[in-house]
Every structure is written in C-alpha cells, then in structure tokens.
C-alpha cells in the first residue's frame, strides 16, 4: 500500500478520474446527496490517497488552506475496504503531511456529526454547534 500526495496539476487524467469516481460513489450515490462534488477547491488542493499494488484507490482526503487555517475533507474509505482501519490510517497520514507542510497552522474540519469521537481521537475539539450541510448533520472541529 502506498500513500500519495499530489497537487491537482500533478495528478494524471487517470488518477483524477479514479479519485472523482470514488468520491462521487461515496458522497453523492451512497449518501444519496446530490451536490457539486467536484468544486473550485479541487484545483488548489493537495489530494492524498492510499493506493494498493493494483492501483485501486483505498482511501482519500484533500487538504487546502483557507485563511489562516488548514482544512482537510472529502475523507473516505472505498466501500470495498471498510473495517480495515484505513480511516484512521488516511487521517493519521493526512495529519502528518499537514504537520510537516504547515507546522504552525491550526487544522479545521467540517466533520459529519456522527464522527465527533473518531476525530476526537486525533485531538480535534468541536468549535461549533451541529448544523446541516447538504441535509447531513455536521460540526466544525479544530486541532490546534
């Protein structure tokens, strides 16, 4: 298994297709949530993912700076590879990348509310009340 970090312009057409395909499968189809999955953040983001030896995308995040904070989102594990600990692995590696690239920045995420304890395990604390984003309960969380 390989952890990859690439800026948008570094991704091949095939890589972006694979990433977009799994993102749409999870966030639009599986969560039954029609919204603009590919957006204006993609061209400025670092795209991080775990890939197996066959080239299959196992897990994914994207990282971007907005204001003084670093954000990551679109956290997913491929449906065929859940319950393998890949969620913790991709978030841990994403945080290691952020710490190396942006050592003095705080990290802010918009987490689905049911994942509060999961992100809390990495040190994140809630900084907002629960709100609806695309009809899914979310909360802002920060790691200082």
The pLDDT of residue 31 is above 90: no
Residue 46's pLDDT band, with cuts at 50, 70 and 90, is very high
* Contact (Cβ atoms closer than 8 angstroms) between residue 34 and residue 28: yes
Beta-carbon count within 10 A of 33 CB: 14
- 32 lies in the same domain as 51: yes
SS3 for 50? strand
- 96 lies in the same domain as 27: yes
Global confidence as pTM:
0.90
Please give the pLDDT value at position 136.
Answer: 85
- 84 lies in the same domain as 49: yes
- 63 lies in the same domain as 126: no
Report the DSSP pairing between strands 57-66 and 69-77. Answer: antiparallel
The pLDDT of residue 10 is above 80: yes
- Count of domains for the chain: 2
- 97 lies in the same domain as 128: no
User: How far from each other are the two terminal CA atoms of the chain, in whole angstroms?
Assistant: 30
The domain of 92 spans 2-105
Residues in the chain, total: 144
Residue 27's pLDDT band, with cuts at 50, 70 and 90, is confident
Cα(133)–Cα(71) distance, rounded to whole angstroms? Answer: 16
Model confidence pLDDT, tens digit, residues 68-96? 899 999 999 998 888 999 999 999 999 99
Beta-carbon count within 10 A of 64 CB: 16
């Amino acid at each position: 298994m390989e952890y990859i970090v690439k800026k948008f312009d570094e991704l091949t057409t095939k890589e972006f297709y694979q990433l977009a395909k799994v993102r749409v499968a999870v966030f639009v189809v599986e969560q039954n949530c029609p919204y603009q999955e590919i957006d204006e953040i993609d061209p400025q983001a670092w795209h991080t993912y775990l890939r197996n030896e066959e080239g299959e995308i196992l897990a994914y995040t994207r990282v971007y700076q907005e204001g003084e904070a670093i954000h990551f989102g679109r956290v997913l594990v491929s449906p065929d590879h859940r319950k393998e600990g890949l969620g913790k692995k991709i978030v841990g590696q994403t945080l290691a990348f952020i710490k190396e690239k942006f050592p003095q920045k705080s990290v802010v995420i918009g987490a689905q509310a049911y994942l509060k304890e999961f992100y809390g395990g990495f040190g994140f604390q809630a900084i907002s009340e629960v709100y609806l984003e695309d009809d899914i309960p979310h909360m802002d969380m920060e790691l200082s």
